[in-house]
Amino acid sequence: GAGVSQSPSNKVTEKGKDVELRCDPISGHTALYWYRQRLGQGLEFLIYFQGNSAPDKSGLPSDRFSAERTGESVSTLTIQRTQQEDSAVYLCASSQSASGTYEQYFGPGTRLTVT
Amino acid sequence: AQTVTQSQPEMSVQEAETVTLSCTYDTSENNYYLFWYKQPPSRQMILVIRQEAYKQQNATENRFSVNFQKAAKSFSLKISDSQLGDTAMYFCAFMKHVKRGGADGLTFGKGTHLIIQP
């Protein structure tokens, strides 16, 4: 596609439920990133995938968070047993790391509200 | 670990004025990249400008330029002839150097809310 897309754009869920957030990167981009943006804050890095390498999960805040990526395409971020502090905008980005420019292109984000 | 600090939570200037947003960072890395991203109310993050630490020349992109002071670990953004469409959150971000084909997450500051007044 022309840009990074994410779905859903908004998600409201009850505390304790599991949620799945989806990201479609730009075609051909080998690297994919997930970030969390709490209200009024900067972005926090969560995880990235790069080609066939093991993902860097160093930013995941707890074991309730996990992510998968199928090849060099779609990624899903799963939050289990959601808590109110998980409410945030979750942003996905992709980059073509072979280009050497390292520019990350961001999607519009998913706003998650845990009630 | 790296940290990025933006000390101006909000700034307001008149249209056509020049404004400078400050950013400082802390790292033990010698090679790295610095970025300024813009986030308008639409939530879409847009890259404004990029600087490689090994380049001494300050990056410029039309009305946007940076003042990169590596020794001081400072990376300020100057917006000339500001326009109403420049109103947005501006985030400074750091990425350590990776070899070609590699990747790494960005470390962001908390942002500066820039308001351009008509």
Which of B43, B101, B110 has the CB atom closest to A97's CB atom?
B101
Residue A34, both tokens: 């997930």
Tell me which chain B residues have a C-beta less than 8 angstroms from the C-beta of A97. 98, 100-103
* pLDDT tens sequence for chain B (118 residues): 889 999 999 999 999 999 999 999 999 998 899 999 999 988 889 999 999 999 889 999 999 999 999 999 999 999 999 999 999 999 999 998 877 667 788 999 999 999 999 9
What pLDDT does A23 receive? 97
Beta carbons of B45 and A91 less than 8 Å apart: yes
Q: Over the stretch A78-92, which tens digit does the pLDDT of each residue have?
A: 999 999 999 999 999
pLDDT at A52: 78
Whether residues B110 and A42 touch (CB distance < 8 A) is answered with yes
Contacts of B79 (CB under 8 A, 6+ apart): B18, B19, B20, B21, B63, B64, B86, B114
DSSP label of A101: -
Question: Would you give per-residue pLDDT tens digits along chain A (115 residues)?
Answer: 579 999 999 999 999 999 999 999 999 888 899 999 998 888 999 999 987 788 888 888 999 999 999 877 899 999 999 999 999 999 999 988 666 667 899 999 999 999 9
User: Which residues of chain B lie closer than 8 angstroms to A101, CB-CB?
Assistant: 50
Per-residue confidence (pLDDT) for residue A101, from 0 to 100: 65
Q: Which residues of B touch A (CB under 8 A)?
A: 4, 6, 33, 35, 37, 42-47, 50, 91, 93, 95, 98, 100-111
Among residues A108, A65, A111, which one has the least CA distance to residue A88? Answer: A111
Structure tokens at A53: 């390498």
Q: Considering only alpha carbons, which residue of chain A is nearest residue B113?
A: A40
